[in-house]
C-alpha cells in the first residue's frame, strides 16, 4: 500500500468511454491527497488488460460502454479480483441498471454530475468495505421502488445485522463465518427477510434497506 505524508493512498482506476469526462475526473481525483488514479480504461476489455499489470483498491465504472459494458466488466472483476471495490458511475436515465450492477458486485453508485467532496466520500466508504449510494441517486431510485418494498416491517436486530452484510455483497457462507453461526441459520434469516420485505432477490433487499434507512446512503 502506497503512503503519502504518512497517509494511506487509495489507488483508483477510471473506466469510461468518454475521454474528456475520464481525464477531467482523473484531474479532480489526483487533487485529493489520499487518492491516486493509477490507470484509465475506455471499456471492460481494456480494464481487464490493465488489471494484469496494475492493481487498484477502487474502480469507478461507467455502465454503458462499447465492447464490454460496465455490468459484464463488474462481474468479471468481482470474480477474479474480489478485493477491488466498484462504484458505478451513472446518469439519471441509467437507474434501471441498479439491480444488474448490484448483482454484478458493485458496492456504490454515483451520478456523473457528482462533486469532488462526494467523490472522495464515496471512494473512502467503499474502501472501508461499506456501500455508498449518492443522495440524488437514492431520491431518484425511491421513485421506482416497487410498492411491495415500501412498507417498513419489523426486523429483528439479528436480521438487520444480516441485511447489512447482504447489502455489502457477502454470501451466506461468509456471513455465517463472520457471525459465528451456521450457514443453515443464516439461510433461515435470509428467507425470513425475503418474506417480510417482499423482495424477490438480493438487489430488492438492498432497495428495501435504502428505502427504509437501514443502510447508510
The sign of the CA dihedral 106, 101, 137, 145 is negative
Which of 126, 142, 158 lies at the terminal end of a domain, its last residue? 142
The string of pLDDT tens digits covering residues 13-58 is 999 999 999 999 999 999 998 999 999 999 999 999 999 999 999 9
Same structural domain, 26 and 103: yes
The sign of the CA dihedral 116, 121, 122, 123 is positive
Please determine, for residue 135, whether its predicted confidence score (pLDDT) is greater than 80: no
Give a yes or no: residue 95 inside a domain: yes
The string of pLDDT tens digits covering residues 81-134 is 999 999 999 886 566 788 788 888 898 889 888 899 999 999 998 998 888 888
DSSP label at 9? P
With pLDDT > 70 as the criterion, what percentage of the chain qualifies? 86
CATH number for 12: 3.40.50.2300
Number of separate domains in the chain: 2
The DSSP result for 70-126, as a single string, is: HHHHHHHHHHH-TT-EEEEEE-GGGGGGHHHHHHHT--EEEETT--HHHHHHHHHHH
Same structural domain, 104 and 163: no
Give a yes or no: residue 37 inside a domain: yes
173 C-beta neighbours (distance < 10 Å), count: 11
Question: With bands split at pLDDT 50, 70 and 90, how would you rate the model's confidence at 198?
Answer: confident
Give the per-residue pLDDT at 122: 93
Q: Where are the beta strands (DSSP E) in 134-202?
A: none
Give the per-residue pLDDT at 36: 95
The sign of the CA dihedral 53, 59, 60, 62 is positive
Who has greater pLDDT, 80 or 6? 80
Distance CA 197, CA 149 (A): 6
Name the residue range of residue 161's domain.
148-211
Return phi, psi of residue 52, to 5°. Answer: -70, -25
45 C-beta neighbours (distance < 10 Å), count: 16
Q: Which three cell numbers stand for residue 36?
A: 491516486
Same structural domain, 84 and 169: no
Place of cell 466488466: 73
CATH number for 157: 1.10.10.10
105 C-beta neighbours (distance < 10 Å), count: 18
Strands 3-4 and 7-8: antiparallel
Could you give the C-alpha distances from 80 to 17, 29, 60, 144, 214, in angstroms and in order?
22, 26, 17, 32, 30
Return phi, psi of residue 8, to 5°. Answer: -70, 130
Same structural domain, 52 and 32: yes
Give the per-residue pLDDT at 121: 92
Amino acid at each position: 500500500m502506497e503512503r503519502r505524508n504518512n497517509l494511506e493512498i487509495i489507488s483508483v482506476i477510471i473506466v469510461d468511454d468518454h475521454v474528456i469526462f475520464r481525464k477531467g475526473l482523473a484531474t479532480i481525483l489526483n487533487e485529493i491527497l489520499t487518492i491516486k488514479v493509477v490507470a484509465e480504461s475506455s471499456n471492460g476489455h481494456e480494464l481487464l488488460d490493465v488489471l494484469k499489470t496494475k492493481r487498484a483498491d477502487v474502480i469507478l465504472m461507467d455502465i454503458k460502454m462499447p465492447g464490454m459494458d460496465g455490468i459484464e466488466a463488474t462481474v468479471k472483476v468481482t470474480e477474479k479480483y474480489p478485493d477491488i471495490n466498484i462504484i458505478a458511475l451513472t446518469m439519471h436515465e441509467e437507474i434501471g441498471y441498479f439491480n444488474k450492477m448490484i448483482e454484478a458486485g458493485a458496492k456504490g453508485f454515483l451520478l456523473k454530475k457528482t462533486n469532488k467532496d462526494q467523490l472522495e466520500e464515496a471512494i473512502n466508504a467503499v474502501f472501508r468495505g461499506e456501500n455508498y449510494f449518492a443522495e440524488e441517486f437514492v431520491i431518484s431510485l425511491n421513485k421506482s421502488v416497487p410498492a411491495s418494498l415500501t412498507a417498513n416491517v419489523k426486523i429483528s436486530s439479528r436480521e438487520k445485522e444480516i441485511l447489512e452484510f447482504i447489502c455489502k455483497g457477502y454470501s451466506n457462507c461468509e456471513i455465517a463465518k463472520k457471525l459465528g453461526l451456521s450457514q443453515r441459520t443464516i439461510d433461515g434469516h435470509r428467507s425470513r427477510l425475503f418474506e417480510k420485505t417482499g423482495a424477490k432477490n438480493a438487489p430488492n433487499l438492498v432497495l428495501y434497506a435504502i428505502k427504509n434507512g437501514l443502510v447508510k446512503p
